[in-house]
Amino acid sequence: MGEFFHVIDGRLEGSGARFDVINPARGVPFAQCPDASREQLDRAVEAARRAFPSWRERSFADRRAYLLKLGQALEAAIEELAPLLTSEQGKPLDRARDELKRAAAQFDDLSRIDIKPDLLRDDAQGRVELRYRPLGVAGAITPWNVPIVLAAPKITQALYVGDTIVVKPSPYTPLTTLKLGELARHILPPGVLNVVAGGNELGQWMTEHPGIDKISFTGSVATGKRVLASAAATLKRVTLELGGNDAAIVLDDVDPAQVAPRLFQAAFVNSGQVCMAIKRLYVHERIYDAMCDELVALARQARVGDGFDPGVALGPVQNKMQYDRVLGILEDTRRSGARILTGGRALPGPGYFIEPTIVADIAEGTRLVDEEPFGPVLPVIRYTDVDDAIRRANDTRFGLGGSVWTNDLARGEALAARLEAGTVWVNHHVGTEPTVPFGGCKESGLGREYAELGLKGYMEAQVVKVPRAPR
């Protein structure tokens, strides 16, 4: 796979320390990654601070032109980078290509959004505007499930509004992000985008660093709480997009055979390793057994394996810690008395593979329902009364997404609006759009990414009052 380097002030740098990157389909190291020192982080932040004054003075159109070139460079490198992404993340090769293509498009899509002053008052007393200024240096900490498609919007939002940025990818999947940094160093002015790789210690250094003005973090609730506590010492602006335990509620007027494929895809996409995937499926008792049968058939048809093998639909769980956690939840599920209709076990051989699993006759009070498994496991929960299903869906500390599935769109809209989540859908689940804000409520996050609201999260609001000139 060759050498990998940090990108600091437009230059490639190695580190004295390195760590192994594991191929989750085989469970063994396939590459080594440089492990950034504190001194290297300090220099990355210093480079970003030096680059900030001239970068913020550029126009939105000028900064957009740079981002378009970066998106085009990523698009041109898809065939080179997709095998690397599959090797470190595990997803099927075609899914890796899709992720890189989506990430490349975000550099264009997010930099098309206008950020204009808000006119608050214009009268005899004078004019009052709410303007938005770049914050300074942003720090982005990205996760391992979709590393590039979650790094690209953070980079784009920060750079488009006039911030500079330091990016830290997950130590489980750092390599493709480092390669993105290498592409950027030939396009962006030095210091505008810096990419440094390392473990949890590097993330803490970033959240504590007085030279970083904002942290955008995507990851688990537990880590997000530590990020927020650490950032409080310097009152950094913080955006947190954290875990979800999304509920989907299926009403009794749908045809299970028609709806099940979409529900299955929304639950098992990326082997269930998506924050907004369906994690709890509430199904009306009238169609419960038929829905379970349909989902079981789909789970048994889904081919699991190495992402490089043709026809594979689901790859491995990305890392050993998460693999062990999912297997532990499945063991608790067996002890609970729930019925595992299909799957429920690790696949033989190397790698972190778990059978696609459908669980029936389960309810709240079990780990599988109350926690976010983040793996290829779906509990199907029976309900009788839809008001009770809404109550049960909302009885959680999570609040990222939720959905209602019905042939009555007006009823579906009314019920979806009662779900306590940052995004709710009718007859759909999973997905983001550049012009639609995304984020969670409760413990699923703070702030929003994407759209004008997300861009303004990388800026500081400023009130400007100008009196009316005397006549």
Task: Give the active site residues.
Answer: 241, 275
- DSSP 8-class letter at 188: S
Nearest Cα to 438, choosing from 424, 417, 458, 418? 424
CA distances from 82 to 97, 266, 431 (A): 5, 23, 21
How many alpha carbons lie under 13 Å from residue 67 in its C-beta half-sphere? 31
**CA geometry: angle 47, 50, 54, nearest 5 deg:** 130
**CA geometry: angle 110, 112, 113, nearest 5 deg:** 80
Are residues 436 and 417 in contact, defined by beta-carbon separation less than 8 angstroms?
no
Coil, helix or strand for 410?
helix
CA distance linking residue 441 with residue 443, whole number of Å: 6
Cα-only R_g, the chain: 23
Q: How many C-beta atoms surround the C-beta of residue 224 within 10 A?
A: 23
CA distances from 269 to 38, 90, 106, 439 (A): 37, 13, 20, 19
CA distance linking residue 304 with residue 156, whole number of Å: 34
Q: How many C-beta atoms surround the C-beta of residue 285 within 10 A?
A: 11
Token pair belonging to 122 = 């214009």
Coil, helix or strand for 21?
strand
Phi, psi at residue 104, to the nearest 5°? -60, -40
Contacts of 137 (CB under 8 A, 6+ apart): 45, 48, 49, 52, 163, 164, 165, 166, 211, 212, 213, 214
Residue whose token pair is 């080594």? 32
**CA geometry: angle 371, 344, 399, nearest 5 deg:** 20
Which amino acid, 368? Answer: L
Q: What dihedral angle (degrees, nearest 10) is formed by the CA atoms of 437, 440, 442, 447? A: -50
Coil, helix or strand for 192?
coil
Give 31's strand partners: 21
Helices (H), 337-442: 367-370, 386-394, 409-416
